[in-house]
């Protein structure tokens, strides 16, 4: 929330607007106020402990800024999302996923030449080492693709160990990871269903290549549809970054120990897997399917979500930051419609999703708790329309989020003020006591 305290101009109070005063035990200390480029204000408490002996306590980091960042701006009250200053609506309407990735990682939109050479770099690095394919084959068939992907991305550091070689350059490592992530995802799907591995083709764009690797088969040619490719571009643009969310924080935290990019991103994939985060898209579809299978009546599900004694939540609802609406949802709903009409499909789950969205808009529980659909609410319907299997949903999110993880990792690495992330705690265990030998324990 921006400036939740009413602003009192310094001239009226005589106070320094860049400083706050904290009084503890009758003694006062000054705490600097940091201001972001969109007027967000924060107390810089980095010297609090040395000044007062106190730390701050904020479980879940609900009110804690972990860094200063110039990548993504989110205003949860006004439903605003911008990458490097550009509104998500404009990027979704005009950009491609590759161009957006370039923007996030390099901070400016590329020129034609820069975009061409970035795309060329991605094309060059799209294949994975053949030995990795043998590695894949040893996973049990029911292994979840997110677990496989996290392991395989970490394994890239073994197959491409030149990461710290200055000649290799960070751009090559970044392009290698961006390009191979999509290939690894498609291979994990093909192996999980016992199909041939399909290699990427140089003439296809990033998104078209992914669809081709997923759905081409020795017995059926996959016809690339440019409208579906465009929709996939938008889908991944919508996921490309979301400032300091759970998985990005994992990437930054692990990266703060100066691990390589592959290891940092692998931790992000693991965090994203959880149903409260990127795994929610899979959970939403399971919930919508349950509603459908039980006759389509949404009322009992809404009642359960409101019942404090029931752990059930409406999946795809609620967000730590967005409190009025998530600007990605309307665009996601649009691409669902595009894909369904283009593929001449009808999905009953879309009708159920819309009924849930409309009913909760009028319901005081959801209004009072600021619960609205989030990016995951409609995304599964789009993925189902283009034949992405359910357990690949979080993988699709991970491919989309990759440019953001890379940009955030790079920004934190380049930050001269960057320290090893190491939070403190308030200890609540037993006071000091002596070890009791086992024969004397009651
Ligand atoms: N359904 C019903 N009630 C909910 C829901 C929901 N989906 N989400 C939150 N609430 C209620 C909680 O029960 C709590 O109620 P109370 O204050 O009366 O006890 C209140 O809203 C606040 O909930 P918290 O869990 O404290 O809110 P927080 O900001 O920590 O959680 C989260 C955000 C995790 C996204 C939560 O809304 C949730 O679990 N949603 C469902 C899972 C989901 O869709 N996750 C994807 C998020 S987007 C993303 O990560 C890409």
Question: pLDDT tens across 270-296, in order?
Answer: 999 998 999 899 899 999 999 999 999
- pLDDT at residue number 2: 42
**What pLDDT, on a 0 to 100 scale, did the predictor assign at position 5?**
42
Asked if 302 and 360 touch (Cβ cutoff 8 Å), the reply is: yes
Paired strand residues for 32: 19
Q: Which two tokens stand for residue 36?
A: 């972001």
Which residues in the chain come in under a pLDDT of 70? Answer: 1-14, 164-168
Q: Verify whether residue 376 is a known catalytic residue.
A: yes
Q: What is the pLDDT of residue 1?
A: 41
Percent helix / strand / coil, the chain, rounded to 5: 55, 5, 40
Longest dimension (CA), the chain: 79
Q: Does ligand 1 come within 6 angstroms of the Cβ of 280?
A: yes
User: Is 317's C-beta closer than 6 angstroms to any atom of ligand 1?
Assistant: yes
Choose one of 72, 315, 318, 323 to mutate for the ligand 1 pocket test, by most ligand atoms within 8 angstroms of C-beta: 318
How high is the pLDDT of residue 188? 87
Distance CA 173, CA 169 (A): 7
State which H helix or E strand residue 43 sits in.
strand 41-43
Cβ 84 vs Cβ 106: under 8 Å: no
Q: Say yes or no: CB of residue 304 within 6 Å of ligand 1.
A: no
| DSSP codes, 98-163 | HHHHHHHHHSSPPPHHHHHHHHHHHHHT-S--HHHHHHHHTS-TT--HHHHHHHHHHHHHHHSGGG
Q: Whose CA is nearest to atom 20 of ligand 1?
A: 369
* Phi, then psi, of 83 in degrees rounded to 5: -100, 125
Residue nearest atom 8 in ligand 1 by C-alpha distance: 318
- Ligand 1 atom nearest 374 alpha carbon: 48
| Strand order across the 41-43 sheet | 19-24, 27-35, 41-43
What pairs with residue 220 in β-bridges? 217
Q: Closest residue (by CA) to atom 27 of ligand 1?
A: 320
Is any atom of ligand 1 closer than 6 Å to the C-beta of 318? Answer: yes
> Ligand 1 centre from 372 Cα, in Å?
10
pLDDT of residue 195: 85
Please check whether residue 64 is in contact with residue 54, taking contact to mean a CB–CB distance below 8 angstroms.
Answer: no
Residue 319 known to be catalytic: yes
Alpha-carbon distance 313 to 296, whole Å? 17
Residue whose token pair is 């088969």: 217
User: Could you give the 3-state DSSP secondary structure of residue 20?
Assistant: strand
Kindly name the residue from 319, 325, 363, 368 that is annotated as catalytic. 319
């Amino acid at each position: 929330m921006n400036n939740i305290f009413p602003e009192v101009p310094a001239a009226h109070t005589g106070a320094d607007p860049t400083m706050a005063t904290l009084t503890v035990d009758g003694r006062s200390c000054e705490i600097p106020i940091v201001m972001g480029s969109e007027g967000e204000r924060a107390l810089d408490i980095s010297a609090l402990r040395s000044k007062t002996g106190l730390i701050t306590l904020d479980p879940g980091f609900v009110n804690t800024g972990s860094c200063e960042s110039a990548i993504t701006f989110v205003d949860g009250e006004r439903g605003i999302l911008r990458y490097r200053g550009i509104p998500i609506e404009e990027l979704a309407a005009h950009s491609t996923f590759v161009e957006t990735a370039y923007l996030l990682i390099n901070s400016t939109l590329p020129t034609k030449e820069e975009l061409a050479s970035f795309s060329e770099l991605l094309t060059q690095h799209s294949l994975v080492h053949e030995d990795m394919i043998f590695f894949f084959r040893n996973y049990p068939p029911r292994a979840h693709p997110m677990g496989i992907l996290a392991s395989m991305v970490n394994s890239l550091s073994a197959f491409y160990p030149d990461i710290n070689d200055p000649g290799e350059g960070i751009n090559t490592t970044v392009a290698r990871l961006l390009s191979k992530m999509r290939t690894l995802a498609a291979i994990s799907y093909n192996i999980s269903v016992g199909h041939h591995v399909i290699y990427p083709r140089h003439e296809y764009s990033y998104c078209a290549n992914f669809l081709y690797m997923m759905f081409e088969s020795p017995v059926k040619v996959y016809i690339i549809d440019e409208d579906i490719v465009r929709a996939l571009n938008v889908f991944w643009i919508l996921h490309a970054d979301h400032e300091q969310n759970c998985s990005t924080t994992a990437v930054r935290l692990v990266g703060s120990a100066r691990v390589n990019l592959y290891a940092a991103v692998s931790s992000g994939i693991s965090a994203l897997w959880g149903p409260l985060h990127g795994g929610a898209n899979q959970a939403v579809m399971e919930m919508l399917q349950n509603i459908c299978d039980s006759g389509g009546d949404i009322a009992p599900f809404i009642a359960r979500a409101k019942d404090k004694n029931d752990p059930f939540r409406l999946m795809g609802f609620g967000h730590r930051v967005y409190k009025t609406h998530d600007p990605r949802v309307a665009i996601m709903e649009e691409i669902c419609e595009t894909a369904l009409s283009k593929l001449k499909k009808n999905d009953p789950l879309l009708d159920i999703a819309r009924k849930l969205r409309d009913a909760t808009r009028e319901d005081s529980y959801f209004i009072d708790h600021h619960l609205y659909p989030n990016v995951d609410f409609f995304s599964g319907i789009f993925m189902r329309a283009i034949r992405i299997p359910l357990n690949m949903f979080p993988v699709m999110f991970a491919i989309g989020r990759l440019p953001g993880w890379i940009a955030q990792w790079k920004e934190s690495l380049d930050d001269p003020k960057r320290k090893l992330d190491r939070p403190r705690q308030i200890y609540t265990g037993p006071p000091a006591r002596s070890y009791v030998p086992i024969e004397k324990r009651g």
